[in-house]
Structure 1
Amino acid sequence: MRALIQRVTEARVTVDGEIIGQTGPGLLVLVCAMLGDDPAKADLLAAKIAKLRIFQDPVGKMNLSLRDTGGSALVVSQFTLAADTRSGNRPGFSSAASPDEGRSLYEHFTGALRHQGVACETGLFGASMQVSLVNDGPVTIWLDV
């Protein structure tokens, strides 16, 4: 699985003008299921994100995890993270999981993140969404498992 995480002071996702998910201080997690991914990879990614030490401790060093800070996550599915841009000008997405498999792994990932003790809200799988955020730092990290 692949994720782009951003440390945020706030983030929200809207569909048709209605806020369907939001978070205060914590993470915006854009996540993509890739061909060959399975629930074990979703579990591994969730554990990595929950434990990743990218929040500042009292002396200003990035030394705390999302669990340590009690922050929350907004998890948004984004198959475009699978974009292959090596040739031509139009990205290909053939390395993304099928929509049914992607939805299942997205839901499994979100459940695994909650199981790690992280409160999280979500976007709407497959919908056209508008995502807004205030990146904190900025801290943006790409993860592949």
Structure 2
Amino acid sequence: MKKIYLASPFFNDDELERMTSVLKVLREEKGFEVFAPFELKSDLEFGSLEWRKETFLADKTEINKADLVVAIISNGNYSDSGTAWECGYSYAIGKKVIVVNLTKNPVNLMISDSLHAYIDSIEALRSYDFEKLETSSYIGKVF
């Protein structure tokens, strides 16, 4: 079973809706083991130095353990700094990054040119073959 790290912003209702729809496809429909930072629970005080260290190390560890990274981007030129970092780190350590953009917004150059595959709809995510991991480029405006 593939282990997937799901990088995604989850700070407003639209981002949460996109994340949960992608998570449902990956986990329930495709049967993958998915680590989603949104689900990480801690007894530490949110925002404290200890919480920050624990969260950072957990996310980094899970990226290292994952077979690949699925990253949801939403706002083109500026997605989410955490998601952008997760994409860059994943690329740097040789993980394939599958970018999901459900908003049709333009994509930042550093994301568009480091991704392994670009997916622009839930239907395309459903039909993507995670065994073959075919490449597909983002074709469109970049920032």
Query: Which structure carries more strand by proportion?
Result: 1
Query: Which structure carries more helix by proportion?
Result: 2
TM-score by length of 1: 0.32
Structure number with the bigger relative contact order (C-alpha 8 A, sep ≥ 6) is: 1
